[in-house]
Structure formats: structure tokens, C-alpha cells
Amino acid sequence: MKVTILGNNSAIPAHGRNPSAQIVEVKDHLLLLDCGEGTQMQFIKYGIKRSKIQHICISHLHGDHYFGLIGLINSLGLLGRTDPLHIYCPEKLPAIIQLQLDACGSMMPYEIIFHTISDEGEYKLIVDTPSYSISCFPVDHRIPTHGFLVREKSSGRKIVPEACREYQIPQSYYYRLKQGEDYLRKDGTLVQNDWVTEVGKPDKVYAYCADTRYTESFAEYILGADMVYHESTYLDAENDLANMRYHSTAKQAAQLAVVAEIKQLLLGHYSSRYKNIEEFETEAKTLFVNTRATFEGMSIEL
């Protein structure tokens, strides 16, 4: 799994930083998390193939998280897309997009399938494929907002070929062994799974914590995640302002990383009042050492 940061500024483009957008690549599938203004240009700049995007997740309806969406939808149509596009979003977004399409008489050559997420806030599985899943979880912002959890599924237990040959297990059965099944031989011998397999690689988990003030209410959903992107709009000196505006500081993001026992923390969604972002990383590392302040174009592999 790989995450590429396309935009990490809050509210407006500033200091060479664009509003929120990032690509998660999972086994040759591209997922787009938020789509702020200028996202299409970032695709071109960083070599992202728009045609490979299957799922788009929109965290909430503040413009810096979705104002780039209608342009992307239109461009995909102009480029001849025929595959359906799935969009997971707040309840009001489908009507907003349809109004924009109707206003200019656009007829998309592909199907746009909206999957709305309750404004009441919910944790649920929204995408489930053999290789990955996406879940949403509520955060604490001024309007209904959700974060997203992307899980790259393990390929299962690791086959030990020598042991399989010894017990005369055909290769056609290996997939079932990887799922943890035992094997019953024709002579009635039950070959237990752990005789012929080893523990495989664990699932990889990435969490995108969209705009939120500090809260531990969703710590259980991201517990032990391999990597978490958490907004850090302000530095600690602006703690009161962050709380008032339902945002977080770099130090608060680090505090949640400690509480949730994650492995790596990414910071972003910086306020335009800050030109340089080095201090965000310095501040967060006082509580959580494995922290990185993101920059646009940055790709991080889990």
C-alpha cells in the first residue's frame, strides 16, 4: 500500500500548498480521499492515472475537501471513461453534483454511483473487495465529517512447499490452505493446517482522519494502525483557536497517536498562517517520535 499526498493545506491554496487530496494505492487500485481545488492538476504533476480511480471518499462538505470533484467528474467523461465511478460522501453531495451537471447539460458516458454516509455519524464498512476494504468513522468537526480506514488484506497464511509435498497436497488446494483450512487426504489422514503453513503477513492499515478537533472518540477504530494521517491545522500556541474552530494542533495529533498506539503519524491540513511546516513535525515529535510532516508529492509506503 502506498499513499501519495496531493494536497495538505487547509481552507485555501497558499505557500505552494493545495487543499486536501490524497491517493491511496492498494494492489494496483487507486482510491482518492477528498478532492480539493486543483486536484486534477496534481494528478498531472505527479503522474497519477485518473482512469484507474475506482472509489472516491469525501470526508465532509467544506469546500477545501470537495471543490475539485465536479471538475474531475467532467474530465473523466471528456476522456471517455466507461467504468462506473463510486463516490462515498455526505448525504447532500449527490444533489450538489447533479445540480452542477444539469446546469451545463452534461451527460456523462459512465455511471456515477453515490453511496451516502449518514450525517448522524457512523462507523461502517463501505467497500469490501478480496484485496482491500474501506470503512468510515465519525470525527468531531463543525459539520458532519468522517474519516476513512483503508485495510490491505493479507494474502493469508504462508505455504511451506516442502511440507505440502511431503503430505501429498495438490497445488490446487493451496488457496484453501492459505485461508487456514486443514486437508483431508484420500486415505483419511487429516493434515492440520499449521503442519504445512506458517503465519503470513498481517493486514496493512491506513487511517485518514479528516478535519477534527482533538477527541479520543475514534481511537478504537484506528487502534494499532500502521499509518495515520491526522489534521494538524495549528501549532500548540493556537490550542484555544484550534478547539474553537474544531481543528487540532500538531501536539494533539501526536497525543492521539500515543493513545491509539499507531506505528507512524503523518501531519497535514496546515493553516495558511504558517509558511514553513518544519515546526509541526518538531512539536509532534516531543510526544510521538515516528511523526512526519507531509509535503505535496510525498509518497509513503506502508
Cβ 190 vs Cβ 184: under 8 Å: yes
- Signed CA dihedral, 301, 25, 288, 286: sign only: positive
Q: Count how many Cα atoms sit within 13 Å of the Cα of residue 144 in the half-sphere of its side chain.
A: 15
* Active-site residue identified among 28, 64, 182, 211: 64
- 64 given a catalytic annotation: yes
Per the listing, cell 487507486 goes with 30
**What DSSP designation does 131 have?**
S
Instruction: At 248, list the grid cell.
Output: 487540532
> Parallel, antiparallel, or unpaired: how do β-strands 291-293 and 265-268 relate?
parallel
Which pairs with CB-CB distance under 8 Å and at least 24 residues apart come from 38-47? Answer: 38/7, 38/13, 38/68, 39/6, 39/7, 39/68, 39/71, 39/72, 40/68, 40/71, 40/72, 40/75, 42/6, 42/7, 42/18, 42/296, 43/6, 45/297, 46/4, 46/6, 46/297
Enumerate the β-bridge partners of residue 229: 208, 266
Q: Give every CB contact of residue 54 below 8 A, 6+ residues apart in sequence.
A: 29, 30, 31, 83, 85, 86
Closest CA to 7 of 295, 292, 293: 295
Give me the count of residues in the chain: 302
Q: How far is CA 197 from the centre of its chain?
A: 31
Q: Which residues does the annotation mark as catalytic?
A: 64
